[in-house]
Structure 1
Amino acid sequence: MEERTQPGDAICETDTSLHNACVVEIITLGGLDIRFRGKSLIESRSGLRRVLELLKYLIAFRNRRLLPEVIIDEMWPSCDFVDPKSVLRTQVFRLRCLIKDIVAETGCQDTPWMELNSTNGFYILEVGSRCRVDADIFEETIAYAEATEQEDVSAAISLYKKALALYQGAYMAGHVRGDWLTPIQNHYHRVYMRALFRLLELLRNANAYHEIIETCGKAFWIEPHDEALHLCFLQALTDMGDTKSALSHYSYLTSFLERELGVKPSAALRAFYRKLQQRIDESHETDLVLIKKSLIDDERAGAYRCDVDHFRSLCQVEIRRSLRTGKPVFLGMITVSGLDGSRNGKQAQTVADRITHMLSSSLRKGDVFAWWNQNQVLLLITLQDRKNVNKVGQRLHARLQEIADKENVRARLEFQPLTPEISLLVY
């Protein structure tokens, strides 16, 4: 067996070297694949599920001596095999056959680049220097970038970008049994996030706002829920003077986080929004036409959905308008719960989506609604005549009940006047 790759060797290789004779890529970031000259060597063997699971494990702990008992306990913790060592020996035999086949497919039998050996009661998957493991290159490139920062920031930025491009998702992403993979995935995710934010910091110091936006855009595919990443993106937009795009992204982000995670905007996000609004207010270059363009509503029919903070402001506006015009304003609330009384069921998101669609299509364009939490949505309705609230309530209750019956949940609708003339109405 040939010598293993030394630290730093992979960095010195050019990208074209990966396509030279007998140089094999082992892809682990985003899934497992073994490629030779751009072609997958294991994609057509997806039916060998248990063998490929063993291959994942051994690649993760490559070039290390592993006891059979440890492999069994970590890979199949809940499997009640009569003879687990025999099961492992069978999978090892099949994996050796697979390795032999893919090594032969590369035409490198004279200098095998991967071998599964057993010695003194241990198994060891030996991976030679002809292999380029993306996870190794990823960490080495980041280390090289960190060491280069003081001397050449531009080179460090380039290295960080090269490293981040390798991270295409969680380490060995895909179904595996046991918890052995989780700590490794967490490690590489931490390394990725640390490098990502260090790159963003260097770009910010260089006022490279376009590059920040491009970098964040790529990272959103990996980390769509990270608020700190979105804040970097929003800050770069505002630093470029593109406040309209920043407002649009803030609106998208708050709706996305509420829809996907059921969470409200954080204090940091709300603080950014206030600063953004203040910046717009203080700008002397924004004329009335641009303000109108940024504020005008879209042409979609139906009610307006907003976040809770915006809903609160609109309530204050409508109360003041009602005092002046005499038109009644009602605060409504829909509460959804399971038939057993539980307020957090598996269908919560499905029910929320259906109720959102129902409200958008059933209420008027002047009405407003906002999700207060995962199971409650608030309504703000202004009417010409307070008697019409019963018609609105009966119509919404009927459509709400259709959803409740289909999804096997309970739904309660009630209205409370924001002016004190009328008592609570429950449907």
Structure 2
Amino acid sequence: MQGQSDVHIKMLGEFSITYDSITLSDQITHAKKPFQLLEYLITFRHKDISQMELIDLLWPDGTSENPAGALKTLLHRVRKLIAIFPFDFPLICWQRGTYAFNTEIPCSVDIDIFESLYKKGMQAQDHTDKLTHYLQAIDLYKGDFLPKSNLETWVIPISAYYHSLYLKIIHETIRLLYEKDDYEKIQAICYQALVIDSYDEDIHYQLIFCLSALGEDHAAIEHYNYVNNLFMKRFGISPSEKFNTLYKTILSKTHNAENNLTLIRNSLSETAATVCGAYLCDYAVFKDIYQLKARSAKRNNETIYLCLFTIASDTSKRGDKLSVETMNKAMNILNNCIRSSLRSSDVYSRYSVSQYILMLPVSSYENGCMVLKRIMHSFILASKYLPITCTYKLLPISVL
């Protein structure tokens, strides 16, 4: 096939075939099964695939009464799809009962190029060469492998493989860029990578670190709060202690030397709009306040109680598991009830996806229960149509 231009195939972020300035893409057609067949033949283009293997792939539940005939019909549909290209060669070959993508065609496939760039970067001794290969690979990775087919059983492990390679490249590239103190490039790569994987904590960490290093401390703090909420809603956890330490480090350096104590006092003060009800804070801040309160309680012989509210599914109403929407609605109601039922000097925090934790400076366990019953009464009235239950536990804080 001398003199033929290459066929360009994309499988990262989309599936498309481009030849002679003509593109066939899964973004502009709803022909699912023909594309599924093409994707499979191209992915495993270096082997012959039996008719039975394709039938098991396309009709795994035996839903076709005449699978061999259905496969022939599907192949005809595939040929009609690719008829837009001025090929003078067959794209799919059939021989002795097997099918295969024509490997004699000059062809470039993005997954091959991506993996090759990764291997070149790993093997390169010079850090500049490493970085060049890795940056090219990052630019090539437009998304996960065959995203429109991501639920197919054969796609899942392949997608996970390329995704893991991508994250390895990202982390290694960031390490190399730190050697050059190129924080702006690291920042750009982090933003790009988080579009692909929004739950990689280390990439979020590196982004916050770089924002701070570039003098954008307020943006760094905003992103920390965004990640804190993201992880709480998705996983019911807060970021790691390493993450919280970085947050505190950034907070500690957001102020320059200031001789005017009045300005400092004003910056510490809340606005009138925020002084309404109990004080809601991040769990990392709550932990610091708890430790301070524990010291104060020991010194002044005070009694302070720790309370944990937990929301769960009411199995007598509707199933065993709450939807994300229902849980968020219930937690918002509970948040409002806690804030409006406590004094402005009281402190509480979201502990998990389904829990709030608070401190009550009361003289006795019975008085603490009275406060909590008041919160529960408000919550039950506001959430009576939700299939949920709410419980609480009360303990005195630990004083060393």
Q: In structure 2, how many angstroms separate the alpha carbons of the residues matched to 1:249 and 1:294?
A: 21
Q: Show the counterpart of 2:288.
A: 313
How far apart are 1:23 and its partner, in Å?
5.3
Give the corresponding residue for 2:205: 231
Could you tell me which residue of structure 1 aligns to residue 98 of structure 2?
122
Which residue matches 1:41?
Answer: 24
> Is 1:133 aligned with 2:109?
yes
Letter in 1 for 2:74: Q
The corresponding residue for 1:373 is 352
Partner of residue 333 from structure 1, selected from 303, 308, 311: 308
Gaps of 5+ in 2: none
In the TM superposition, residue 116 of structure 1 has moved relative to its aligned partner by 1.3
CA RMSD of aligned residues (A): 4.1
Summarize the Cα distance change of 1:345–1:196 in structure 2 as closer, same or farther, 3 Å threshold.
farther
Mapped to 1, the partners of 2:80 and 2:331 lie a distance apart of 55
Aligned pairs for 1:230-249 (under 5 A) are: 230-240=204-214, 242-249=216-223
> Which moves more between the two structures, 366-375 or 32-41?
32-41
Of stretches 157-166 and 324-333 in structure 1, the one that deviates more from structure 2 is 324-333
Residues 15 and 26, structure 2, Cα contact 8 Å, conserved in 1: no
**Aligned equivalents of 2:291, 2:30: Cα separation in 1:** 62
Residues 65-115 of structure 1: CA deviation (Å, up to 9, x unaligned):
111222233444334444433332322222122222x31xxxx23x34x61
Number of residue pairs matched? 390
Where structure 1 has 5 or more consecutive residues not aligned to the other structure, the ranges are 5-20, 421-427
* C-alpha contact (below 8 Å) 2:7/2:105 kept by paired residues: no
> Any idea what the Cα deviations from partners look like across 1:10-48, whole Å, max 9, x if unmatched?
xxxxxxxxxxx9655322111323346877424576332
**2:74 is the counterpart of 1:91:** yes
Is the contact made by 2:45 and 2:100 (CA closer than 8 Å) also made in structure 1?
Answer: yes
- Indicate which of 125, 146, 156 corresponds to 1:172: 146
In the TM superposition, what is the alpha-carbon distance from 1:221 to its structure 2 partner? 0.9
Cα distance in 2, alignment partners of residues 137 and 418 from structure 1: 59
Instruction: Indicate if the aligned counterparts of 1:404 and 1:410 stay in contact, CA closer than 8 A.
Output: no
Per-residue deviation, residues 270-312 of structure 1 (Å, max 9, x unmatched): 45446556x649x9x5447797798666755665443434323
| Alignment match, 1:8 | none
Shift of 1:199: 0.9
For 2:5 and 2:329, how far apart are their aligned partners in 1? 55
CA contact under 8 A between 1:75 and 1:180: conserved in structure 2?
A: no
Q: TM-score, normalised by structure 1?
A: 0.74
- Aligned residue number for residue 358 of structure 1: 333
1:206 aligns with 2:206: no
Listed as ranges, the matches of 1:374-413 within 5 Å are 374-380=353-359, 393=372, 396-402=375-381, 404-413=383-392
User: Which has the larger displacement, 200-209 or 319-328?
Assistant: 319-328
Displacement of 1:334 after TM fit? 1.9
The code of the aligned residue for 1:120 comes to R
| Counterpart amino acid of residue 180 in structure 1 | W
Q: Check the 8 A contact 1:348/1:375 in 2, yes or no.
A: no
Residue 162 of structure 1 corresponds to which residue in structure 2? Answer: 136
Partner of 1:192: 166
SS at match of 1:52: helix
* Structure 1 contact 63–126 (Cα < 8 Å) conserved: no
Question: Does the CA contact (< 8 Å) of 1:329 and 1:418 recur in 2?
Answer: yes
Deviates more, 1:210-219 or 1:127-136: 127-136
Identify if the C-alpha distance between structure 1 residues 287 and 76 changes in structure 2 by more than 3 Å, giving closer, same or farther.
farther
1:163 deviates by 1.6
Matches of 1:351 and 1:30 in 2, distance apart? 32
Q: Which position in structure 2 is the counterpart of 1:143?
A: 119
Per-residue CA distance 1:374-418 (angstroms, 9 max, x = gap): 43221335689x999788646532442256533312122466676
Taking the aligned partners of 2:2 and 2:212, their CA distance within structure 1 comes to 52
Partner of 2:47: 64
Q: Name the CA shift for 1:156/1:393 in 2 (closer, same or farther; >3 Å).
A: same
* 1:15 corresponding residue in structure 2: none
> What TM-score, normalized to structure 2?
0.79
The one-letter code of the counterpart of 2:77 is R
More moved, 33-42 vs 251-260: 33-42
Distance 1:293 1:168, change over 3 A: farther
Equivalent residues of 1:74, 1:179 under 8 A apart: no
Cα distance in 2, alignment partners of residues 335 and 222 from structure 1: 33
SS of the equivalent of 1:312 reads helix
- Distance in 2 between the 1:26 and 1:302 partners? 59
- Counterpart CA distance in 1 for 2:29 and 2:97 is 29
